Amino acid sequence: FAWLSVFLATWIMLGLTLVSWALNNGRATDVGASPYHIPAYLGLAALGVFCLALVARAKRGGRRWYEAFPAGYGTLGAGILVILAFIVADVGWREGVGVARFGIENWLAPTRILLVVGIFLIAVTPLRARLMAGPSGTGQWPAVVSAGFVLALAWGASFHPAANPWMERAVFDQNSEVWAMDEDGAHQTRLIESRDGSAAWNPALSPKGTMIAYSRLSPRDPSAGNIPKDADIWLANVDGSGARPLVVREGFQWLPHWSPDGEWIVFTDELEGGPWMASGPQGPESGNGLLGLGFGPGSSTPVRRHARIWRVRVDGNGPPEQLTDSAGDDRAAAYSPDGTRLVFDSSRDGNTQIYLMDANGSNPRRLTQDDSDDWGASWSPSGKQIAFNAALTGEMQIYVLGVDGNGPAIPIALTSDPGSHITPS
């Protein structure tokens, strides 16, 4: 009986190890269901059938169900009951509260404690039976194996890839991912995961709320200062499924923004890379869009430039269309509520200012006239005002300006207390 318990526990533990390997290496994306879960579930099913057979035999002999197990082996049945409770509770938790499909926050969900307790009760059974038998009892080696299983459960406490020699690659990189939550911060759920060193950035929800556009950054490049070399525009369903590329081209494609009718996405294209900055004394321009920064004798650090605004059809019909081609950098375009105009940031006249143009890129007009760098413009629902970031008084604050009329607009401070305030929406 002891060795049969050890066999079933070994089966389940190896199945769980396979599940852990599949999740850690991106072979499975759901912590609860995948082909890699089948061995573990079959092991649990075999254990359940074994326990039910013992209970049925006890009933036929006129004994109570808890008398079906030998001394010390009642934890087998208790473990099965706890795991069944976990399955029911976990479904309710995921539907009612919402958890990420994978990650530390998933394993630390309250219902997952039941899973750990159930596995522990199953694994500890032969050891418990040996201890209850006392010095004269038998089953020493099954007890030793059982103790090893209990210690093996410690793998669940190791969340760093370096602690797991069975990992093919590290998936716990410090990369950006796309999450969703309610307005009050509840139901936080990961939608787009980073598993291969890439990162998901700048998510934008479609007007109908059925799709997400985002920028997918390539893995970090150690030869280029450990920063991504490229980024593309991707689309996914609102639940994170069906992720696919929309714009794949050389350079850094980011800051997607949907048109109100959901037919177009406007984005920023930086042919020579992304918006990475570094501080230091400016050196001479190299002539290829890079500025040398003197961090040390004879050293320089690339700063990426040459940003343009493009648009692309969401259905993929036709190539992307370039909307701007100024001498400066044009970034972060956003459609007006009626879809006829675009507001964007540009350094075409020196420092970065807020500009307005038609949706096809024609008739550009400068809105702000100040010595600050103004950026991050966002439309009001009426389309008559724009909120943006500026440091007109030394600290970054949020300002609002009107867009009606032919002359430059005068900004009105929306925030004034100490500290930086950015990213109005």
pLDDT tens track for 348-376: 888 889 999 999 999 999 988 888 888 88
Residue 162 has pLDDT above 50, yes or no: no
Measure Cα distances from 126 to 48, 69, 83, 142 in Å.
17, 12, 19, 6
Q: What average pLDDT does this structure show over 383-399?
A: 82
| Mean pLDDT over each residue of the chain, to the nearest integer | 72
Q: What is the pLDDT of residue 170?
A: 29
Residue 24 pLDDT grade (very low, low, confident, very high; cuts 50, 70, 90): low
Higher pLDDT, 86 or 70: 86
Confidence class for position 414, pLDDT limits 50, 70, 90 = low
How many folded domains does the chain comprise? Answer: 2
Evaluate if residue 413 carries a pLDDT over 50: yes
- 320 inside domain: no
pLDDT beyond 80 at 226: no
For residue 14, what pLDDT is reported?
A: 78
380/389 Cα distance (integer angstroms): 14
| Residue 386 placed within a domain | yes
Among 125, 145, 163, the domain boundary falls at 163
Phi, psi of 117 (to 5 degrees): -65, -45
* Residue of 68, 72, 67 whose CA lies nearest to 52: 68
Which of 163, 182, 200 is the C-terminal boundary of a domain? 163
- Please check the confidence at residue 392 and state whether its pLDDT lies above 80: no
In a domain, 57, yes or no: yes
Domain final residue pick, 122, 144, 163: 163
**Residue 385 belongs to a domain:** yes
In a domain, 234, yes or no: no
Tell me whether residue 316 is in a domain: no
Span 29-55, average pLDDT:
78
Domain annotation covers residue 288: no
Could you read off the pLDDT of 308-354 as tens digits, one per residue?
A: 999 999 998 989 999 998 888 999 999 999 999 999 999 988 888 99
Contact 236, 244 (CB under 8 A): yes
Has residue 383 been placed in a domain? Answer: yes
Query: What was the pLDDT predicted at 57?
Result: 80
The model's confidence at residue 299, banded by pLDDT at 50, 70 and 90, is: very low
- Cα gap 331→388, rounded to integer Å: 13
Q: Which residues contact 234 (CB under 8 A, 6 or more apart)?
A: 200, 213, 214, 215, 216, 243, 244, 245, 246
**Structural domain boundaries enclosing 383:** 336-425
